[in-house]
Amino acid sequence: MTTHRASLNGKWSDNRWTNGDTSPGIDPISIFDAIEVPIVVVSCDFSVAGFNRAAAVLGLTASDIGGACLDVPVLAGLPRLGQLCTQAITDGVESRADLRDGEKWFVVRISQYTRSDRQVAGAVLTFTNVTAFRASVNQAIYEREFAKTIINTVANPLVVLDGDQRIQSGNRAFYAEFGLSRDQTKDIPLYDICNGAFESAALRRQMGDVFAGRQTFQPVEVDLILPAKNQRTFILDAQPVSFQGHSERRILVSLQDITARKQAEMAKDLRSEEELRRSEAFLVEGQRLSLTGTFSWEVGTQKIAGSEQFYRIFEFDLGSPVTITEMGNRIHPEDIMLFNNMIDDVRGGQGDFDYECRLRMPDETVKYVQVIAHGSRNTDSRLEYIGAICDVTARRHAEEEVREGEANAEQRLRLVVDCAPVMITSTRPDGFVDYFNKRLLDYLGLSLSDIEGWNWLSSVHPDDAPGLLEKWKMIVELVKPEEYHEARVRRFDGVYRWFLHRAAPMYDQEGKIVRWFGTALDIDDRKNAEEALRRSEAFLSEAQRLSLTGSFSWQVADGNIAWSEQLYRIFEFDHDVPVTLDLVSARTHPEDARPYQEILDRLRRDCSDFDFEYRLQMPDRSVKYLHVIAHGIRNENGRLEYIGAAQDVTQRQEAEAALATARSELARVARSISLGVLTASIAHEVKQPLTAVTINGQACLRLLAKHNLEPEVLRPALEEIVANATRANAVIARIRAFIMKAPTETDDLDVNVVIHEVLALVGHELQRNCVLLECKLAELPALVLADRVQLQQVLLNLIMNGIEAMTEIADQRRVLRVESEIVDSGDVLVTVCDSGVGLGSETDRIFDPFFTTKANGMGMGLAVSRSIIEDHGGRLWASSNHPKGAIFSFTLPGACRNDS
Partner 1 sequence: MNSASVVFIVDDDPSVRFAIKFLLSTVGITAECFESAEDFLRRKPSSAPCCVVLDVRLRGLSGLDIQAELTMKNIPIPIVFLTGHGDIPMTVRAMKAGAVEFLTKPVRDQDLLDAVRIALDRDRARLEQEMELSLLRQRFGSLTSREHQIISMVVEGMLNKQIADHLGITESTVKVLRRRAIEKMQASSIADLTRMIDRLKKTSEKNT
* H or E element, residue 869: helix 861-871
Is 713 or 760 the residue whose CB approaches partner 1 more closely?
A: 713
Rounded distance between C-alpha atoms, residue 887 and residue 898, angstroms? 29
Residue 853 beta carbon to partner 1: minimum distance, rounded to whole angstroms: 16
Is 242 or 691 the residue whose CB approaches partner 1 more closely?
A: 691
Q: What contacts 738, CB < 8 A, 6 or more positions away?
A: 678
Mapping DSSP onto H, E and C, the string for 3-51 reads HHHHHHHHHCCCCCCCCCCCCCCCCHHHHHHHCCCCEEEEECCCEEEEE
Is 543 or 680 the residue whose CB approaches partner 1 more closely?
A: 680
Long-range CB contacts for residues 298-305, cutoff 8 Å, separation at least 24: 298/378, 298/382, 298/383, 298/384, 299/346, 299/347, 299/375, 299/382, 299/383, 299/384, 299/385, 300/382, 300/383
Nearest-10 Cα torsion for 180, 186, 190, 194: -20
Is 715 or 768 the residue whose CB approaches partner 1 more closely?
A: 715
Rounded distance between C-alpha atoms, residue 805 and residue 803, angstroms? 5
Residue 734 beta carbon to partner 1: minimum distance, rounded to whole angstroms: 16
Is 271 or 687 the residue whose CB approaches partner 1 more closely?
A: 687
Residues 202, 204, 205, 211: is their CA dihedral positive or negative? positive
Q: Tell me the angle at which helices 751-768 and 788-806 cross, rounded to the nearest 10 degrees.
A: 30
Is 318 or 713 the residue whose CB approaches partner 1 more closely?
A: 713
Residue 762 beta carbon to partner 1: minimum distance, rounded to whole angstroms: 27
Residue 737 beta carbon to partner 1: minimum distance, rounded to whole angstroms: 21
What is the SS3 assignment for 163?
coil
Residue 729 beta carbon to partner 1: minimum distance, rounded to whole angstroms: 14
Q: Buried (b) or exposed (e) across 831-862, using 16+ Cβ within 10 A?
A: bbbbbbbbbeeeeeebbeeebbeeeebbbbbb
Rounded distance between C-alpha atoms, residue 424 and residue 417, angstroms? 7
Residue 849 beta carbon to partner 1: minimum distance, rounded to whole angstroms: 16
Residue 726 beta carbon to partner 1: minimum distance, rounded to whole angstroms: 11
Please choose, from the candidates 100, 105, 88, the residue with its C-alpha nearest in 3D space to the C-alpha of residue 41: 88
Is 761 or 858 the residue whose CB approaches partner 1 more closely?
A: 858
Q: What contacts 148, CB < 8 A, 6 or more positions away?
A: none
Residue 700 beta carbon to partner 1: minimum distance, rounded to whole angstroms: 9
Q: For residue 189, what is the DSSP state?
A: B
Q: Please report, as ranges, the residues that interact with partner 1 according to CB under 8 A.
A: 680, 683-684, 687-696, 698-699, 702-703, 706, 708, 716-717, 720, 723-724, 727
Residue 694 beta carbon to partner 1: minimum distance, rounded to whole angstroms: 4
Residue 604 beta carbon to partner 1: minimum distance, rounded to whole angstroms: 51
Residue 676 beta carbon to partner 1: minimum distance, rounded to whole angstroms: 13
Residue 875 beta carbon to partner 1: minimum distance, rounded to whole angstroms: 33
Long-range CB contacts for residues 621-628, cutoff 8 Å, separation at least 24: 623/589, 623/650, 624/570, 624/648, 624/650, 625/649, 625/650, 625/652, 625/653, 626/570
Is 717 or 740 the residue whose CB approaches partner 1 more closely?
A: 717
Is 602 or 715 the residue whose CB approaches partner 1 more closely?
A: 715
Q: Buried (b) or exposed (e) across 96-133, using 16+ Cβ within 10 A?
A: ebebebeebbbebbbbbbeeeeeeebbbbbbbebeeee
Beta-carbon-side half-sphere exposure of residue 769 (alpha carbons within 13 Å):
25
> Do residues 869 and 892 make contact, with C-beta atoms less than 8 angstroms apart?
yes
Q: What angle do CA 884, 890, 891 make, to 5 degrees?
A: 145
Is 600 or 717 the residue whose CB approaches partner 1 more closely?
A: 717
Is 583 or 699 the residue whose CB approaches partner 1 more closely?
A: 699
Please choose, from the candidates 749, 739, 744, 892, the residue with its C-alpha nearest in 3D space to the C-alpha of residue 821: 892
**What does each C-alpha distance from 301 to 281, 379, 394, 692 come to in angstroms?**
20, 15, 33, 116
Residue 801 beta carbon to partner 1: minimum distance, rounded to whole angstroms: 21
Is 497 or 727 the residue whose CB approaches partner 1 more closely?
A: 727
Is 206 or 696 the residue whose CB approaches partner 1 more closely?
A: 696
Is 652 or 727 the residue whose CB approaches partner 1 more closely?
A: 727
Beta-carbon-side half-sphere exposure of residue 492 (alpha carbons within 13 Å):
10
* Residue 583 identity (one-letter amino acid): L
Is 723 or 759 the residue whose CB approaches partner 1 more closely?
A: 723
Rounded distance between C-alpha atoms, residue 470 and residue 655, angstroms? 63
Residue 704 beta carbon to partner 1: minimum distance, rounded to whole angstroms: 10
> Phi and psi dihedrals of 787, rounded to 5?
-85, 120
Residue 863 beta carbon to partner 1: minimum distance, rounded to whole angstroms: 18
